[in-house]
Chains A and B, each alone.
Chain A
């Protein structure tokens, strides 16, 4: 991997980066319309590809939170034109690494010793780059370790980054600014949490202990004595990322096993622990041919407030939904319907949401669900597309959906999209959750 020669950190420099992108995107549009003049058959696809490439280049140069936002956007596949998604999906794996001396310096500063003093072997070349840090391979006492190191100044730049990425997010997602504020607050607070490695270490240890009883999950061991607020040391996990794993043509049985493990992992967290690993992008999972899955990176954990939990999961209950008044109440609680809405708008949006909810919660209502069912996902994407293009939604000036739903939706979205790539057949009925909770008690 080529080492990045410079990271723009000062605000002005970052702003400069965004301005250049803005200009480039502008030129891409001009190019597009000129091409279209010459050849009317030109599609928007190419334009989106050009734009995505330029925006991605900018974001990956900035690292940190901007990259994180790119990842968030890439999660909601349906929300974005396809070309953006593919380019952004790359950001889940690769961003250029930082220099060796800086890595050493981070160790000396936060742990008082250099990596060569702490480990038997330490690879100064990063083996993986994450959005706010990079991962190095190390060994100690014959054990392979993964050492995650945070880039300096990340926490400082979260705020200014978000402010600058906002116009792009608005442009891409097509939401209005008022809408975005509420969500950006949520994103900001989560991102700041992610830069706190001490918190992440604690959570990683807690959550992996709580979930240890779920079959086929593998969590790394953590080493607090080799970790600091900028460094986390854990066992090295073997396995492949989703895409490479699928290339090995795993059997249906293995896919089902992994799919089930993932489903159980998320359901147990949501329903029992009321906090969830809210970063289900493929880079955080390592799949193995024996049907087990390694899970790490608890940097982004969403705690689910009780009242939100209740309202959110009442939506799954068919009986409750039949009661018109109660349903309306739930929508209001979840801020999907705004007090200022006219009766006509209420009816319009209720209809939309109900259809979306019916679609998205389908797996919950069945005992078994085949995530390989493409018809189902195509229907979701088609519906998302329809929503995305709907004039009423784009013109709506109010925020719809509680801020908590952002990460919960994202979590389920990510989960669904991984399961769908796996084409896994999963036991999804409520009895399964109960089983897991009982198993925890006896464990």
Chain B
């Protein structure tokens, strides 16, 4: 059972992110594995523990992402490949999917795992576009998956419930919140990963149009949202007094009840 996990390197969205002169300031930002992809790595490890095989990480990025890619290797993943080339710059989500697809075609796989979305741009296009470009089916926003190496049975989130899908491999699924609780990498894993080199594949492997020219959209403006200044009205007293006051405020001031 060979698995490809696509992993994006994203800034820690818990950290301070701000815009200066119309661009997002990257300096000082901490970069990490996209949380949705961390669930992907964990699920791949669990499947491998059961069925054996090989796990390959694919990251579209730049040389500066190598350190974070090695954090991915530290979990006990077999291989990682960085897909990087100046020609990839300005690729949109479909372009990124084409780059990933070109790499996937050079690797043996039964299953591809992607995060539902990147925690940076939250688009949620690349994984699904990758499945389409490769001509394989996908199940999105999965919270539970089972596979015997032939079939994939996946429980996915739908609005107001769940749906169970079954599909023959090769297939792709995207992860969602609740899929698993990722382990911590072992000290040994971290040490080993540090020594690994991450091969870089560039534009010569890529089929289809990628990069800025091929992009169907371009981000042209970045601003910081105006923070709605709220001053919290604190209510104090005994619980009974607090509730009387709260109800009064909700009814007469906020007029929401």
- Whether chains A and B associate is no
Measured CB to CB, the residues of A under 8 A from B are none
Measured CB to CB, the residues of B under 8 A from A are none
